[in-house]
């Protein structure tokens, strides 16, 4: 049985089965247990790093459905599209830190303003210059100010993928499947910076 692990979260976020149904396949169950641990540990790191402006990212992290009967299984941990900005950081227009992503313009897009307004509501965030005669305008103005400041300064990287998907964590999966199947296991790990191959009998 060959298992491929992708540590890069894919930009799916939807079309995901939330709950895997375990069956009698011991290797399948071992993979599910490992995936649950990985998701929980990533959520814990996000929580410790205070990277949970809302709970949306934490709740979006989950294993993608896979077919257990295949000889070759690809395991993917997926999350909302902006996971990479949180994990790797974003350079600001005025402040560069060498991150792989960067804002190009100060002026925020309409989608950015909409996302910040949702964040203001979900967090919730107190608006200093709140006008109860026109609350929507107050929220829009606050969102514009926050989005503009973010684009100037950038987003500080708060890694939550690499601290969890370590070589030791990958070996745990190899060991669990090997014990469950009593067979030779070959594993290729495709991470952000590494490509590790290992074998367990």
* Per-residue model confidence as pLDDT tens digits over 177-191: 777 766 666 666 665
Residues in CB range of 73: below 8 A, 6 or more apart: 1, 2, 3, 4, 31, 66, 67
CA–centroid distance for 163 within its chain? 12
Looking at the structure, do residues 164 and 181 belong to the same domain, yes or no? yes
In angstroms, rounded to a whole number, what is the distance separating the alpha carbons of residues 159 and 86? 7
Looking at the structure, do residues 169 and 148 belong to the same domain, yes or no? no
Looking at the structure, do residues 145 and 168 belong to the same domain, yes or no? no
Looking at the structure, do residues 15 and 68 belong to the same domain, yes or no? yes
Nearest to 18 by CA among 59, 56, 67: 59
3-state class of 78 per DSSP? strand
Looking at the structure, do residues 7 and 40 belong to the same domain, yes or no? yes
The answer to whether the predicted template modeling score (pTM) of the entire model surpasses 0.85 is no
Range of the domain at 122: 90-155
Edge-to-edge strand ranges of the sheet holding 195-200: 62-63, 72-78, 2-6, 185-190, 195-200
* Per-residue model confidence as pLDDT tens digits over 126-169: 888 877 788 899 999 999 999 999 999 999 999 998 899 888 88
Tokens of 95: 């402040």
Looking at the structure, do residues 135 and 79 belong to the same domain, yes or no? no
């Amino acid at each position: 049985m060959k298992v491929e692990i992708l540590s890069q979260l894919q930009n799916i976020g939807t079309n995901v089965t939330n709950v895997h149904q375990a069956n009698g396949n011991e290797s399948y169950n071992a993979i599910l247990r490992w995936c649950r641990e990985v998701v929980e540990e990533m959520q814990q790191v996000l929580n410790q790093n205070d990277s949970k402006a809302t709970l949306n990212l934490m709740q979006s992290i989950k294993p993608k459905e896979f077919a257990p009967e295949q000889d070759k299984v690809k395991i993917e941990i997926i999350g909302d599209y902006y996971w990479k900005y949180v994990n790797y950081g974003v350079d600001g227009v005025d402040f560069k830190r060498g991150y792989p992503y960067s804002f190009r313009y100060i002026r925020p897009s309409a989608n950015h303003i909409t996302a910040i307004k949702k964040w203001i509501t979900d967090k919730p965030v107190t608006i200093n210059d709140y006008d109860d005669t026109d609350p929507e305008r107050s929220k829009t103005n606050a969102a514009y100010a926050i989005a503009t400041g973010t684009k100037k300064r950038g987003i500080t990287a708060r890694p939550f993928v690499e601290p969890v998907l370590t070589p030791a964590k990958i070996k745990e999966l190899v060991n669990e499947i090997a014990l469950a199947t009593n067979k030779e296991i070959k594993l290729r790990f495709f991470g952000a910076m590494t490509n590790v191959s290992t074998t367990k009998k």
